[in-house]
Structures are given as structure tokens and as C-alpha cells.
Amino acid sequence: MMKGMIENGARQGLKESFDQFNSLLSEKFRVVKDSDVSDKDQMLASMENEHQSDSELAVRYFWNFTVVSTVFLLLYVVVHIFLCERSVLRGLEFDGLDLPDSFGEIITCGVLVLQLERVYLMISHFVEARLRRGSDHGVKAQGDGWVITVALIEGANLASLNSTEIPDPYVVFTCNGKTRTSSVKLQTLDPQWNEIKTRKLLQTLLIFGRILISSTYTEILEFDAVEEPPSVLDVEVFDFEGPFDQASSLGHAEINFLKHTAAELADLWVPLDGKLAQSSQSKLHLRIFLDNNNGVETIRDYLSNLEKEVGKKLNLRSPHRNSTFQKIFGLPPEEFLISDFSCSLKRKMPLQGRLFLSARIVGFYANLFGHKTRFFFLWEDIEEIQVLPPSLSTVGSPSIEIIMHKGRGFDARHGAKILDEHGRLHFHFHSFVSFNDASRTIMALWRARTLEPDQKAEIADEQVDDDEKPVLIEDTGSYLVVEDAKMTKVYTVELPLNLKLLMKMFDGGELEHKVMSKSGCLNYVTTTWEHMTSDVQERRVSYKFSRRISIFGGEVTCTQQKSPLPNNAGWVVNEIMTLHNVPFGDHFRVQFRYQIEKSSFTHNSCKCDVYIGVMWLRSTKFESRITRNVIGKFTNRLEEILQLVEREILLTTQ
């Protein structure tokens, strides 16, 4: 009786406390309901309808003390000039030179010039903001399945790496091996992303003399559809220094979809981790929507592909079974159960329970005399799975050992057997009714979840006919106007190779593909050389940079032309490179010239001179920074490529 009284009293006290806390929060914040986020398109459309016209943006931007005072002062001076008579020449003046006649005139002119300069900078920022676009902004998702839509709204209190410089932040989202990149915001610690997919304009405000990009609208980024629901979304904020620079991180965060409801994801402030970010209390404001655009067919297709690995038929579980599974682990409604097995968890004392397997998690649940044990971890957090032979401690049955990545899975630490010296948790499961079925299903799900998208595509390609050839992305016309860019000689090397062997790096053969693959080029494709004139040949090249080369992993298309030097002394190869999916990639082209000729000093060797230039199609504030970054990066890269060519040729000729 006393126990019941104490429990009822504590329950009543906690209920009253939480009711007061709830009423206090409701006075300051609006509660987001599931009904508010049920229609993603309606919510995004409401953002779209709030858009202001160009004239409204201009009025709001230019209606401030700086602009008004400058216009007034300018008009005042102009009217004064018209009202004054022509002054006579005094002092050191002569026809065509009118000098100030007092210190007051000098001060007035100085103030007017400074005000006009500030207004000019405001106008240039406004025009530049209208033209700014995000590299993945407005790209629609492709395919059927689970689609992630991220609405990037704003950031707050971002850290600065240098106390004397304000960063130019942008955000990189990574999910299922794919990345999406936001636009770059100019010199602000509180960036606002307001470009919606209908090409909305940026709104700029002048706040206490500082130019900030600001608005209440959003930038929309979508990921291509995938078969299985995504588990986590990695978010990282960088300071833009150039398309090939090792960007400096301003903070990062990981959003676990299993730990947030749809209502929470629809309006989420994400605190950023990192030494500087935590001290500055940096955070991002996001709206995230996870949709299945193919319904139950997506789940059926996923199970059908998984059956080949498991070796048995996998059926959809009943709605009641799925809801029970979701309720046990507190999972969102899109999580679906694939299989479950009765087993024992090996700790100091074995614990009999049930192992649940879904597309995203491994979960264990046991209820021993009312004492419940439950935990789950993600497939992506698993580093290794081992099958251990029968032993006395496992009652003569084989067991499965699951080893986590360092620092991962600590929410399930109470279910782990040991924490090794490398900081990895080990989970042991044994006494399965059908060990072979359980181990095959676990291994198949782990492989399917942890394979890179490129590896999945490679496996899919192996299952179809090899008749289809890769299609090269066509570039816009053939243009190699090398004279438009200032070409800088960046590298010269003497190679102990004859001219014919070195030119193999441009023949599209095994050597070229091997070297480019080692240098960080993915999906490298070339066309054959075609004669444009009697002396000039042309071809196209396309590939994708690995993340080691560029944080953006951008795609590249090139047009190359080669022509012989006089007297067959060598070759000149000119190249125009277009970078896709990198910030400001549509503003410039990179030009190369390789001049390869026979060496005048050594027999059976040749000399290679490399020139690089950047041709600007549109002006930008970052011209000098990007030019310096591109030339520096490609100088080191071309040096590495030529060294690889020399090494590969010498190895094959020995």
C-alpha cells in the first residue's frame, strides 16, 4: 500500500511539473504537429508564396541611412553647383583644374566620395547576390524509392578560423555515399540560404555597416532515390577557399533519422560539433523530408534483391508485427522488419531474447521477469562480422561476433561483451535455432548496407550484358581558344622515354586509364581521335574527381586537340577542361598545353613542358583566389601524373 501511495504521489508531481513546463514552452514556441508536415509540397509551396518582388527587395535593401544620406548629399551638392556662378581662377588653379578653396570643401568632398564608394559596394553586392547560385541547388531527385529533401534555411553563430577574416561558408550534405552542396555565402557568420527552386533572388540587408546575405526563405537540395531508407545524414560546414583547396571545416553534425520523428525533422535546429563550433554554439536551421515515392513496391524490390544473397524467400511482415517492432525500439513508421531470430546475448551471463533485423538496424530485445533489455545499432556502424566456432561458453553452438567501428554504437554499450583497446564494442550472439539462416541474413544485410554506391552499380553492371558502351557527356561545342587565357609555364621535365612511348598517355589505351585511375579519376572515358584538319586531331574525355582530389567530387569534361610540331620534332596537345558541380564552375574554364618534343641533350629521351591558364567567362569576387588554387592544385597533379606515366612505362619495358 505504501509503495502504491509513493508511486501515485511521484506520478502526480511529475505530471504537474511537466504540464507547467509544457505551458511555459507553448508561450514561447509553436508546437509542430504531424498534420503540419504531412504535405511536403504544400510546406515548400508556402515558402515560395512568401517571396518578395525584385522591387520590394531593392526597396528594403536600399532604404537605410547610408543610401538616403548619400542621395541627399549628392543632390544638395548638385543643386549648389547650379546655383553658384562660375568662380574666378585663384591660387594655383588654371583652366580645367578647380581646387577646393577651404578645408571645409575638402572635408565635404571626402565625405561625399566615401559615401558614394559605400553605395557602390552595396549595389555590387546586391547584383552579385542576385546572380549567385548553389552548385546542387534545384537539382531534382532521380529514380523511385526513398527520397531525401533538405531545405537549408539559415545558420547562426558560425565560427571563424581567423579572427581577422570573416568566413565564406557553404554546407555539404552526405547521405548513402552521395553529396549535395549548398551555395557559398559571402563573408558572414550568420548565413541565410534563400534560393528556392524557382530561382528566387537573394535579399541583402545592411546592418550596422556590414553586408550580410539574409532572408527568411530556403535553398532546396534533393538526393536521388535509393532502395533502402537512409539512416543518417552527415552535415558539414566549410569555409570556401577554392574548388581544389582542402576546405577548412567550421563544424559538423550527424542527423540520425531513427531518433527523430517526421515532425521534428520538418523544423530542426542542428547544433554543430567541433572545437570551434561548440565554443561558438554554432547551429543550422533545416527542414528535412523523407519520402517513399514508390510505396510498398520499393520494399518489395529491396527484399527481392536481398533474396539472392540470403538464399531464401523473404516476405513482407504483417502490419501488426511491424508496429510491434517499431514500438519496442521507438522507431519511425517507415522502418520495416525483415527478419527476427531467437538467440542468446553473451555477456557475463547469457541472456535469452530475440534479434530483430531491418533495413537500417540490428536490434535485440529481452524480457526476463519484467526486466527489459533492449538496444539497437546501425548497419553502417559495424566494422566487421565474424563467425566463431562452437565453444563451451556458447553451449556447443557457433556464435556471431559483431565488431563496431571505433566510437560507434555507444548507445547500445550495455549489450556489448567487451570494449577492446581500440575503442570498439564487441557484441556476441549465439544459440540460434537455425544458425545458417541467421548468419546468411545478417551478412547479406550488412553487405547490402555498407557497399559503396559505385560498388553496387558495378555489381549491377556485371549482371547485365556488356554490349552497351559508356556514354560520354557531350560538351558544348569544340573550342580551344588558348589565346584567351594567360598561359603560365608551371612544369618542365626530361623523361628517359622516347616520344612514341610518352604519347601513349594520350592514346586512350590501358596505360592512360591505369594512370588516371591511380591519380584519382573515376569513371574515366575517352573517345577516339578524329581528324579536324590534315594536321589537327580532336577527342573528348570525361571522368569524375575522387574526394581525395576535390571535396566536391565534381565531374569533368574535356576537349583535347593534338597537332605535330614542325619537322616531326614532337607534339602539342591543347586541352579545355570544364568543371561541373563545383562552386563557380560555370564561371571559368581551365586550359592546358602539353609541348612534348625530342630532347636535344640525350638520345632516346624527350622533354615535356606544361602550361596552365584559367579563362574567365563571368567575373566574380573570387577570381584571384580560384585562379591561384586551380593552378597550384593542377601543377602538383600534373607532376604526379607524369611521374606515374614514367614509372608505368619503365616497369612494362623492363
Predicted local confidence at residue 198, as pLDDT: 31
CATH, residue 207: 2.60.40.150
Predicted local confidence at residue 200, as pLDDT: 35
Residue 272 lies in a domain: yes
Are residue 203 and residue 290 in the same domain, yes or no?
A: yes
Are 224 and 565 in contact, with CB atoms under 8 Å apart? no
pLDDT band of 574, cuts 50, 70, 90? very high
Are residue 136 and residue 279 in the same domain, yes or no?
A: yes
Predicted local confidence at residue 611, as pLDDT: 93
Are residue 270 and residue 333 in the same domain, yes or no?
A: no
Which of 272 and 243 is assigned the larger pLDDT?
A: 272
Are 449 and 367 in contact, with CB atoms under 8 Å apart? no
CATH, residue 342: 2.30.29.30
Are residue 197 and residue 327 in the same domain, yes or no?
A: no
pLDDT digits (tens, 9 = 90+) for 80-124: 888 887 777 777 777 777 777 788 888 888 888 998 988 887 787
> Closest Cα partner for 512 from 651, 631, 654, 642?
642
Predicted local confidence at residue 426, as pLDDT: 96
Of 255, 276, 294, the last residue of a domain is: 294
Residue 36 lies in a domain: no
> Closest Cα partner for 325 from 362, 368, 379?
362
Predicted local confidence at residue 454, as pLDDT: 55
Are residue 498 and residue 572 in the same domain, yes or no?
A: yes
Residue 26 lies in a domain: no
**SS percent in the chain: helix, strand, coil, step 5:** 35, 30, 35
Region 155-183: mean pLDDT is 86
Residue 471 lies in a domain: no
Looking at the chain, how many residues does it have?
654
pLDDT at 149 over 50: yes
CA 209 to chain centre: 32
Are residue 507 and residue 417 in the same domain, yes or no?
A: no
pLDDT digits (tens, 9 = 90+) for 432-443: 988 989 999 999
Q: What is the mean pLDDT of the chain?
A: 81
Q: Considering only 142-146, 418-422, 550-554, which range has the smallest mean pLDDT?
A: 550-554
Residue 6 lies in a domain: no
Q: Considering only 55-69, 333-347, 416-430, 618-632, which range has the smallest mean pLDDT?
A: 55-69
Region 196-202: mean pLDDT is 34
pLDDT at 57 over 70: no
pLDDT at 505 over 50: yes
The Cα 69–Cα 54 span in angstroms is 23
Predicted local confidence at residue 406, as pLDDT: 93
Predicted local confidence at residue 137, as pLDDT: 53
Region 54-75: mean pLDDT is 79
Predicted local confidence at residue 144, as pLDDT: 80
CATH, residue 629: 3.30.530.20
Region 344-360: mean pLDDT is 92
Are residue 161 and residue 287 in the same domain, yes or no?
A: yes
Are residue 338 and residue 422 in the same domain, yes or no?
A: yes
Residue 37 lies in a domain: no
Predicted local confidence at residue 253, as pLDDT: 95
pLDDT at 497 over 90: no
Question: How many contiguous H segments (helices) and E segments (strands) does the chain have?
Answer: 14, 26
Are residue 243 and residue 342 in the same domain, yes or no?
A: no
Predicted local confidence at residue 458, as pLDDT: 53
Are residue 337 and residue 224 in the same domain, yes or no?
A: no
Of 434, 462, 490, the last residue of a domain is: 462
Q: Considering only 46-50, 226-230, 423-427, which range has the smallest mean pLDDT?
A: 46-50
Q: Give the structural domain span for 186.
A: 132-294
Are 546 and 179 in contact, with CB atoms under 8 Å apart? no
* Start-to-end C-alpha separation, the chain: 92
Are residue 624 and residue 541 in the same domain, yes or no?
A: yes
The Cα 288–Cα 270 span in angstroms is 11
Q: Reduced to 3 states, what is the DSSP secondary structure of residue 18?
A: helix
Task: Report the number of distinct structural domains present in the chain.
Answer: 4
pLDDT at 264 over 50: yes
Predicted local confidence at residue 51, as pLDDT: 47
Residue 415 lies in a domain: yes
Are 294 and 145 in contact, with CB atoms under 8 Å apart? yes
Of 294, 329, 345, the last residue of a domain is: 294
Region 47-55: mean pLDDT is 53
Are residue 319 and residue 271 in the same domain, yes or no?
A: no
Residue 11 lies in a domain: no
